[in-house]
Amino acid sequence: MGTIHYGGSGTTVHIEDRALAHLKVVISTKLRRGESFTLSWRHRDDEERGRSTLWLHPAIPLRFVFDDAEPTTLSREWIERLADSANSSGGIMLVPEDVAPAQDAEKR
């Protein structure tokens, strides 16, 4: 289970390493371009029920920490779906890798 550390307050978000690796690519690309956006996700089963959203801005400190020392093989399709959602008015919605694009659209 990887972690995003966001902002000076030390906000932490726990995300599975493989999903975090894909998010890192999309988030880094957006922030490098100077773009702000939101990141939303459903809470894990072991957390309080619901969902959360972060406002990501290039000036706010951000760190990705992975439990696995070895990098994962990335899925171009998953990155593209996450990037498409990042460019929407709703921001990035973290969806499982195996969710088909049509299912993504229904969840927005």
- Where is pLDDT greater, at 44 or 72? 72
Predicted local confidence at residue 97, as pLDDT: 87
Predicted local confidence at residue 33, as pLDDT: 94
Which strand (E) or helix (H) includes residue 27?
A: helix 17-32
Spatial contact of 4 and 62, defined as CB atoms under 8 Å apart: yes
- Residue 7 tokens, joined: 């902002």
What are the b/e assignments for 34-56, b being 16+ CB within 10 Å?
eeebbbebeeeeeeeeeeeebeb
- Is the confidence at residue 102, as pLDDT, over 60? no
- Residue 108 tokens, joined: 């927005």
| Rounded average pLDDT over 41-47 | 80
pTM, rounded to two decimals:
0.83
Residues in CB range of 101: below 8 A, 6 or more apart: 81
pLDDT bin (cut points 50, 70, 90) of residue 10 is: confident
